[in-house]
Amino acid sequence: MIEPVSGEGDRAGEAADHFFRHEGAKVVATLTAHLGTHRLQLAEDVVQEALLRALQTWSYRGIPDNPAAWLTQVAKNLALNSLRREQRWNKKQDGIAAEHTRWLSSTSEDMIRETFADDTLRLMFVCFHPELAVESQTALALRTLCGFSPAEIAAAFLTSEAAIAKRLVRARQRIRELALPFAMPDNAALSPRLDGVLHTLYLLFNEGYKASAGERLVREELCREAIRLVTLITHHPATKEPRAYALLALMLLNAARLSARTDDAGNLLRLHEQDRAAWNQAMIHRGVLCLRHASQGGALSVYHIEASIAATHCLASDASTTDWPRILQLYDQLLALTGSPVTAMNRAVAVARVHGAQAGLEALDNIRQRSVLEGNHLYHAMRGTFTADLGQLAVAVTHFRQAAKLAVLPIERDFIARRIEECEATTKR
């Protein structure tokens, strides 16, 4: 029996996960570009099979020098084998089959040299075709091109995994029925689809900034991928719109603070506890420039307001000089635009900073659809923080314990445990 290479099992799992989400999504897009959107399911299936083979093979033989090329070649071989097994190809289709075979038989290095980014964005715009149900568009893009699991998509939409699975099945079936072309829409049809594409990349970045599952709080590779794709959108003459620049600004300003979100021991740090010298000033500068580009348009998007909030934090010299009244004003604008209970919850922090903890609690109590937040650990952690600031330590501990039950990430549970210890230690004095 062959023993796994020492330490390679865990590394193989991490590498496979990375390439499934990123290189895997790019391979899906490139396969679909050559096979047609009616074979989207085949492209997804062979990439998933390639991932499974990576998990099995890399654990024993070690991670290859070029894992992206390895994954690409295996997926191509699996797709070719599947096409060869099909019995429906008639003489009229021999030319098509031969073309598929020629491309799929080319070297993986040829495929790696192709512009993945263009294929990824094309397929993303295909996902937002008006003939597809609105509720299915983002779910399909997140699953196919961002590598999200149905559970992660369900968490983003506050719905069930079963509901997401049904949406995905319906969307793929509709694509097959319509035989949607793998192409960017013309300029007249581009703008309506751009909103969906930007929202998908916003969700991709958010999953990287604060993971919904796993061991890590931050998944920088997801943030980088989202920034890369939005940057490409701002470089395209038909999509370099103010809302795209505003989203890029938001991503850059938030990504600039990633390295300071934990201390040397890996403990979670709140914004006012972070070492601002560790913030990426070049990224902040680029984000501010993008926000200026975004201001050239007449329409105000959610991304404009969120980027302005992020910029206010980034441009403050320290926590004490943060312009919280301005941030509260921006949250008021954002809430008026979205009506989102999550936005209202985040606004409560600004209310507390400006008007005190009691006002923050009242802001939480006044949230419409507050029941939606009952399963969110941050909601209970906020209540714990506000009541602790008011000296109601026993009540605060109750809220923190509820937050601990709902927290998914170990780093978040550790943070909440420290807050409980602080409250209990103060009570004993």
Angstrom distance (rounded) from CA 49 to CA 56: 11
- Per-residue pLDDT tens digits for 33-62: 667 666 777 777 877 787 777 777 776 777
Mean pLDDT of the chain, nearest integer: 82
CA distances from 340 to 155, 211, 367, 373 (A): 15, 20, 9, 11
- Per-residue pLDDT tens digits for 1-26: 333 444 444 555 555 555 556 677 77
Q: What's the Rg (C-alpha) of the chain?
A: 24
The residue ranking higher by pLDDT, 292 or 106, is 292
Q: What is the DSSP string of 1-33?
A: -PPPPTTHHHHHHHHHHHHHHTHHHHHHHHHHH
Short-list 277, 244, 233, 241, CA closest to 259: 277
Long-range pairs, 392-395, Cβ under 8 A, ≥24: 393/423, 393/424, 393/426, 393/427, 394/427
Residue 26 is which amino acid?
K
Angstrom distance (rounded) from CA 49 to CA 76: 11
- Per-residue pLDDT tens digits for 183-211: 666 777 777 888 889 998 998 899 888 87
Rounded percentage of the chain residues whose pLDDT exceeds 70: 82
CB 308 within 8 A of CB 291: yes
CB 132 within 8 A of CB 164: no
Q: What is the pTM of this model?
A: 0.77
Angstrom distance (rounded) from CA 405 to CA 377: 8
Q: What is the reported pLDDT for 16?
A: 53
- Per-residue pLDDT tens digits for 152-184: 888 777 778 888 888 888 888 887 787 776 566
Q: What is the reported pLDDT for 13?
A: 53
Rounded to an integer, the average pLDDT of 62-67 is: 78
Angstrom distance (rounded) from CA 28 to CA 270: 38
Rounded to an integer, the average pLDDT of 78-88 is: 68
The continuous run of DSSP H or E covering 309 comes out as helix 302-315
Angstrom distance (rounded) from CA 208 to CA 225: 9
Q: What is the DSSP string of 155-186?
A: HHHTS-HHHHHHHHHHHHHHHHHHT--SSPPP
